[in-house]
Amino acid sequence: MVDKKSPLPMYYQIEEDLKQRITNQEFKTSDMIPSERELSETFEVSRMTVRQAITNLVNEGVLYRVKGKGTFVAEEKIEQPLQGLTSFTEDMKTRGMEASSKLLTFEKMSAPLDITRKLQLNEGAEVYKIQRVRFADQKPMAVETNFLSAAMFPELDEQTVLGSLYNYIEKTQKQPIGKAHQMIEATIADENQAELLDIPVDSAILSIERHSTLADGTPFEVVRSSYRADRYKFISDIYRT
């Protein structure tokens, strides 16, 4: 029930009640929650108030709607701090999830002009192009396309790229990684991305481009990723200076 004497808006109280039920596992991932009519009767409020609460939770990614069926509990999003340079494998391991990859492309090619510039290569230099679907607990999370200098990593092979590239670079090649410049923007999934990520076409995705350097400042990687926006979010602590 909502407290109609409380200064907190009724729709907010409903939101918090539903969130608590999800936390308590009364409503589990993929469960359909009661209809607007049922919730309005339960909370003794108008359907408009219930609709506002549900819409807010959908916008937060806590719930999702399926046209003609109802409203369901969404999977909890994986939080990725913007501080610290980590690999996808390391990110999943810290969350107790199993990371895996499906290799789509592994080829050596002449570097495209933009990659040549970003990796500070000579014109005509070769790079590896590596495209993988990244999974967390067997569920697709991202599509990644990496470009690495072939001269810098001449022994790189398909088996290696199914694991963690960063682990290979630092532990096998003994080249410590320094830092990266990363750009994130919102976009929508095309047909190919939607199929690989198992989401509807035009779903929201997070498009990320990262330029990484070794500890000595040498550029070694350009990676372009498409992350599922319904399963991933980036967080950051911001301090006033």
Domains and CATH numbers, the chain: 10-73 (1.10.10.10), 78-235 (3.40.1410.10)
Token readout for 64 is 């999702």
> 80 pLDDT exceeds 70?
no
Beta bridge partners of 142: 134, 227
Counting DSSP H helices and E strands in the chain, the numbers are 8, 10
User: What is the average pLDDT value for the chain, to the nearest integer?
Assistant: 87
CA distance 171 to 181: 22
Q: With 70 as the cut, is the pLDDT of residue 60 above it?
A: yes
How large a percentage of the chain has pLDDT more than 90? Answer: 46
